[in-house]
């Protein structure tokens, strides 16, 4: 996800905030002006949604890039298409940058809308009216909002996981956040302002509880088109009311005890589910990113009731304020505290009388078994608690540990990896949540330190090592659970490198190298760069300054010896986002008109065409020229470029920074494949088991439409996908090649 430009009442981008005050390398001013796109769009809205076939599909992600299952007998095969050649070539014409309110794909391809906000996923649920009046109590059986990270799990005739299935699967996707202006008749009903603002319509709050979370939907191909099956028994919504268990070292500890779970064994719901991940046994990982803002904690009254350690933790995670959707303010509360649980203040006598620890129950990686509808999702505490963007599975080798790479998306946060204690046994394929217990509850959690010489260290986050002790002056760690609940504080003392907002990770199936999008960082000062975050410049938009690293970059690294459990690595910067017209010290990857981009976020390697990388943008900086986009890429490897010294300039301040820049991609190595509608983000990506259908999410078209304009459809910033003055909807599209071939080649 990524509500990259969703802003609060003060115009602050809800994602582009930082709460890392430490003096680790590259510390910079955390307070920077942030721009809302709302006032910068003078866009004409083009022809609304093109006529698109209903389709669905998806695929690939289950193996996260590695052939771990034998081929399974498939349903009627698709038209034959050539297998990817040993040396891949991008086989499409670049899509031009665009401000039109459409999804544009190359000639020879078709993009079809598959699954939109509000679409029913159970029999008897009526079609979505989309005027704010759809019954709130049906939203637990409708598509959620802000479609995000996504995986296609192929399904065989027995209802079991079949990663290579070309025509039937479960599409599992996150619903990160909401565009509240379009969910209700006239946006959120709120009385009062500031700390006194309260929600007054329970149906509106219930809709919002349900449209966050995760969808599981069955999708099928018939001929060349895909559709989801409304009455499939696999269909399921996981949302903010769904019960979840904790496992791993922090489960059943004092940190997680609430009135709802007096032993700290469970919680309700998941929220702000951004990117995703998979396991080699066939389950889905959803990642809780900007969860902190949903909680209400009025510091003026609560701080006095808190310990020094609690205050340090809240400050480091940004748990303070009214709560971004004001969920805790609806009264009267229910007997089971549906509203009050979002108030994480001390109001009762003990921790089991209130939800003072409620915010500790969010910020985790959550495992969901999509094949067992009745299974209870499990929050895996061994993977740490932070602003989890995603969890990308590394190479899967029998007899070796498993590894997941994880970004923490806030300004100046870190990159992490988790390495399992147990070695992979392919007999666990299909093992569901029990297999998760085996591999994800015990292991080593590391944070990355990128060094100036092009190497790096993985620093273990464990009580007693790397300064993570009870005598640490900034925060006295008490036990193993404390280190996991307060992962950011542990990473601070270990000496991790502050990055330019770590978003998705992706692992190249050809060589195991790991890519990390660093979307942008408005707080990266010219005097605060480092080798791995080397740019600081001004990229003005519409005459307004955009400073720091506004266009972002993609770093990559290779764990030493090709061993994902290694504690050292080497790295370089694969590519830098930039306007093609920018100066040479900004456009360091020599991007041109066919491939320039800004603010990379979603990123995923095709499994059907190993070596093909997809890059998605969540941008607000280059949107004077183009809407967000999807690019196809054929990256080389770490070290294919050269050392480079950059000159950074901001007004009268100039500084140089040495770094390592990968080989410029050229149009053979990077080409724009899709441009989305107005005011959207492109995020979430998956492919069918044969690589002939690509599923992509269009998140929050028109999200910055003003609440004051809800009764004037002519003023909606987007009408995608339904067109004709309709309210815009987040949606999944499926892209097929008209000759039935592999996508992108
Ligand atoms: Fe939800 Fe970091 O994007
Ligand atoms: Ca994201
Ligand atoms: Ca983002
Ligand atoms: Ca977004």
Q: Which DSSP symbol is given to 237?
A: E
Tens-digit pLDDT profile for residues 23-37: 765 432 222 222 222
Using the atom order of ligand 1, give the atom closest to the CA of residue 272: 1
Q: Please check whether residue 127 is in contact with residue 710, taking contact to mean a CB–CB distance below 8 angstroms.
A: no
Show the 3-state SS of 241-272: CCEEEEECCCCCCHHHCCCCCCCCCEEECCCC
Long-range contacts of 154-157 (CB under 8 A, 24+ apart): 154/59, 154/62, 154/72, 154/688, 154/689, 155/218, 155/234, 155/371, 156/72, 156/73, 157/75
Ligand 1 midpoint to CA 15 (Å): 7
Separation CA 601–CA 4 (nearest Å): 10
Give Cα separations from 18 to 176, 283, 291 (angstroms). Answer: 19, 32, 14
Give the angle 446-24-589 at the CA atoms, nearest 5°.
80
**C-alpha torsion sign, points 296, 301, 306, 308:** positive
Each residue of 188-224: pLDDT tens digit?
Answer: 999 999 999 999 999 999 999 999 999 999 999 999 8
Expressed in angstroms and rounded, the spacing between residue 617 Cα and the centre of ligand 4 is 10
Cβ–ligand 1 distance for 1 under 6 Å, the answer yes
598 φ/ψ angles, rounded to the nearest 5 degrees: -145, 145
- Letter string b/e over residues 150-163, b meaning 16 or more CB atoms within 10 A of that residue's CB: bbbbbbeeeeebbb
pTM confidence score: 0.92
Q: Which helix (H) or strand (E) holds 248?
A: none
- Bridge partners of residue 594, in order along the sequence: none
Phi-psi region of 639 (alpha: psi -120 to 50; beta: other; left: phi over 0): left
Q: Is 616 touching ligand 1 by the criterion CB < 6 Å?
A: no
- DSSP letter, residue 96: P
List the end-to-end C-alpha distance of the chain, in Å, as a whole number: 27
Which atom of ligand 1 lies at the shortest distance from residue 290's CA? 1
pLDDT tens-digit series, residues 663-711: 999 999 999 999 999 999 999 999 999 999 999 999 999 999 999 999 9
Cβ of 325 below 6 Å from ligand 1: no
> How many A from CA of 519 to the centre of ligand 1?
9
DSSP tag of 95: P
Distance from residue 481's CA to the centre of ligand 2 (Å): 27
Lowest-pLDDT range of 6-20, 267-281, 324-338: 6-20
- Which ligand 1 atom is at minimum distance from the Cα of 409? 2
Please name which ligand lies nearest the alpha carbon of 684.
2
Q: Would you state the structure tokens that stand for residue 9, as one six-digit string?
A: 């009442």
Positive or negative: CA dihedral 611, 617, 622, 625: positive
274 Cβ below 6 A of ligand 1: yes
Q: Is ligand 1 within 6 A of the CB of residue 599? A: no
CA of 601 to the centre of ligand 1 (A): 7
21 confidence band (pLDDT: 50, 70, 90):
confident
Ligand 1 atom with the smallest distance to the CA of 2 is: 1
For the CA of 177, the nearest atom of ligand 1: 1
Structure tokens given for 463? 């009580």
Q: Any idea where the domains of the chain sit in the sequence?
A: 14-585+596-737
Pick from 696, 685, 681: which is nearest to 15 by CA? 681
Does ligand 1 come within 6 angstroms of the Cβ of 322?
A: no
How far does Cα 440 stand from its chain's mean position?
20
Cβ–ligand 1 contact at 13 (below 6 Å):
no
Taking the centre of ligand 4 as the mean of its atom positions, its distance from the CA of residue 488, in whole angstroms, is 23
Write down the pLDDT at residue 651: 84
Beta carbon of 208 within 6 Å of any ligand 1 atom = no
Instruction: Please state, in angstroms and rounded to a whole number, the distance separating the CA atoms of residues 671 and 658.
Output: 28
Q: How far is the CA of 700 from the centre of ligand 4 (A)?
A: 6
Q: Residue 18: its pLDDT value, please?
A: 79
Q: Quote the percentage of the chain above a pLDDT of 70.
A: 89
Please, what's the b/e burial string for 219-240 (b: 16 or more CB within 10 A of its CB; e: otherwise)? bbbeebbbbbebebebbbbbbb
- Establish whether residue 682 lines the binding site of ligand 1, counting it when its CB lies within 6 angstroms of any ligand atom: no
Alpha carbon of 436 to ligand 1 centroid (Å): 25
Mean pLDDT of all residues in 34-50: 24
Give the single-character DSSP code of 112: E
Q: What is the mean pLDDT of residues 1-22?
A: 56
> How far is it, in rounded angstroms, from Cα 83 to Cα 68?
18
Please tell me the distance between residue 674's alpha carbon and the centre of ligand 4 in angstroms. Answer: 17
* CA 389 – ligand 1 centroid, Å: 6
Tell whether ligand 1 has an atom less than 6 A from the beta carbon of residue 743.
no
pLDDT of residue 652: 87
Question: 147 C-alpha to center of ligand 2: Å?
Answer: 11
Q: Which atom of ligand 1 is nearest to the CA of 148?
A: 1
Residue 690 Cβ inside 6 Å of ligand 1? The answer reads no
8 A C-beta contact, residue 138 and residue 126: yes
- pLDDT by residue (tens digit) across 125-141? 999 999 999 999 999 99
Q: What is the pLDDT of residue 731?
A: 99
Measured distance CA(434)–CA(383) in Å, rounded: 17
Residue 387 Cα: closest atom of ligand 1 = 2
pLDDT in tens, 301-315: 999 999 999 999 999
**Ligand 1 touching residue 603 (CB < 6 A):** no
CA dihedral (290, 295, 301, 303) positive or negative:
negative
Looking at the CA of 520, name the nearest ligand. Answer: 3
> Whose alpha carbon is nearest atom 3 of ligand 1?
2
At 86, is the pLDDT very low, low, confident or very high (cuts 50, 70, 90)?
low
| DSSP 8-state assignment for residue 533 | B
383 Cβ neighbours under 8 A, 6+ residues apart:
248, 364, 365, 391, 404, 406, 416, 418, 440, 445
CA neighbor of 153 nearest in space, from 140, 141, 144, 165: 165
**CA 232 to centroid of ligand 1, rounded, Å:** 30
pLDDT tens-digit map of 566-591: 999 999 999 999 999 999 999 999 99
| Cβ count near 330 (within 10 Å) | 20
Ligand 1, atom nearest to 618 Cα = 3
pLDDT at position 616 over 50: yes
Ligand 1 close to Cβ of residue 409 (< 6 A): yes
State residue 85's pLDDT score: 57
* CA neighbor of 603 nearest in space, from 632, 578, 638: 632
The finding on whether 408 has its CB within 6 A of some atom of ligand 1 is no
Contact 101, 719 (CB under 8 A): yes
| CB count in 10 Å sphere of residue 62 | 33
Kindly indicate the confidence band of residue 530, based on its pLDDT and cuts at 50, 70 and 90: very high
């Amino acid at each position: 996800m990524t509500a990259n430009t969703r802003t609060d009442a003060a115009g602050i981008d809800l994602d582009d905030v930082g709460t890392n005050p430490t003096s680790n390398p590259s510390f910079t001013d955390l307070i920077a002006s942030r721009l809302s796109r709302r006032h910068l769009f003078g866009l004409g809205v083009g022809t609304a949604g093109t006529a698109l076939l209903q389709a669905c599909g998806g695929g690939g992600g289950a193996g996260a890039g590695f052939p771990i299952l034998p081929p399974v007998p498939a349903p009627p095969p698709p038209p034959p298409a050539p297998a990817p050649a040993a040396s891949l070539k991008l086989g499409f014409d670049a899509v031009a940058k665009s401000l039109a309110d459409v999804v544009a794909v190359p000639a020879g391809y078709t993009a079809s809308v598959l699954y939109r906000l509000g679409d029913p996923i159970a029999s008897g649920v009526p079609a979505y009216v989309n005027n704010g009046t759809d019954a709130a109590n049906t939203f637990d059986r409708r598509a959620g909002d802000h479609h995000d990270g996504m995986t296609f799990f192929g399904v065989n005739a027995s209802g079991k996981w079949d990663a290579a299935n070309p025509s039937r699967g479960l599409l599992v996707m996150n619903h990160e956040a909401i565009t509240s202006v379009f969910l209700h008749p006239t946006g959120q009903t709120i009385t009062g302002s500031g700390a006194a603002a309260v929600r007054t319509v329970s149906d509106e709050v219930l809709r919002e509880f349900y449209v966050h979370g995760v969808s599981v939907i069955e999708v099928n191909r018939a001929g060349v088109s895909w559709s989801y099956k409304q009455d499939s028994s696999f269909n399921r919504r996981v949302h903010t009311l769904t019960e979840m268990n904790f496992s791993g070292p922090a489960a059943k500890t004092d940190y997680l005890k609430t009135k709802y779970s007096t032993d700290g064994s469970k919680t309700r719901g998941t929220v702000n589910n951004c990117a995703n991940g998979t396991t080699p046994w066939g389950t889905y990982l959803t990642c809780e990113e900007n969860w902190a803002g949903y909680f209400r904690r009025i510091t003026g009254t609560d701080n006095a009731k808190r310990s020094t350690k609690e205050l340090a933790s809240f400050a480091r995670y940004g748990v303070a304020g009214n709560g971004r959707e004001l969920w805790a303010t609806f009264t009267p509360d229910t007997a089971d505290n549906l509203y009050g649980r979002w108030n994480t203040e001390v109001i009762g006598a003990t921790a089991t009388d209130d939800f003072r620890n409620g915010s500790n129950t969010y910020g985790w990686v959550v495992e969901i078994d999509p094949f067992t509808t009745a299974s209870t999702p499990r929050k895996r505490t061994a993977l740490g608690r932070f602003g989890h963007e995603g969890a990308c599975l590394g190479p899967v080798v029998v007899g070796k540990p498993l590894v997941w790479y994880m970004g923490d998306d806030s300004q100046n946060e870190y990159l992490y990896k988790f390495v399992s204690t147990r070695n992979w046994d392919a007999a666990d394929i299909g093992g569901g949540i029990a297999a998760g217990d085996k591999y994800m509850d015990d292991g080593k959690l590391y944070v990355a330190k990128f060094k100036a010489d092009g190497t790096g260290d993985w620093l273990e986050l464990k009580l007693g090592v790397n300064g993570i002790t009870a005598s640490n002056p900034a925060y006295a760690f008490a036990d193993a659970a404390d280190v996991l609940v307060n992962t950011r504080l542990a990473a601070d003392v270990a000496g991790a490198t502050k990055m330019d907002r770590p978003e998705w990770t992706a692992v190249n199936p050809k060589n195991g190298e790991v890519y990390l999008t660093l979307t942008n960082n408005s707080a990266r000062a010219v005097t605060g760069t480092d080798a791995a975050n080397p740019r600081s410049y001004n990229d003005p938009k519409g005459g307004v300054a955009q400073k720091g690293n506004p266009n972002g970059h993609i770093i990559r690294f290779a764990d030493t010896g090709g061993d994902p459990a290694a504690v050292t690595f080497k790295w370089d910067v694969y590519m830098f986002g930039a306007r093609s017209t920018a100066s040479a010290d900004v456009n360091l990857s020599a991007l041109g008109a066919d491939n320039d981009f800004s603010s990379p976020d979603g990123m995923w390697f095709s499994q059907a065409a190993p070596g093909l990388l997809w890059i998605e943008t969540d941008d607000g900086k280059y949107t004077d020229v183009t809407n967000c986009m999807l690019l196809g890429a054929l990256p080389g490897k770490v070290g294919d470029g050269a050392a480079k010294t950059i000159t950074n300039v901001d007004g009268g301040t100039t500084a140089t920074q040495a770094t390592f820049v990968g080989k410029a991609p050229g149009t053979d190595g990077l080409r724009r494949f899709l441009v989305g509608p107005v005011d959207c983000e492109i995020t979430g990506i998956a492919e069918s088991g044969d690589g002939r259908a690509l599923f992509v999410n269009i998140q929050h078209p028109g999200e910055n439409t003003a609440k004051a304009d809800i009764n004037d459809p002519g003023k909606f910033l987007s009408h995608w996908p339904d067109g004709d003055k309709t309210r815009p909807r987040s949606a999944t599209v499926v892209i097929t090649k008209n000759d039935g071939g592999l996508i992108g080649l």
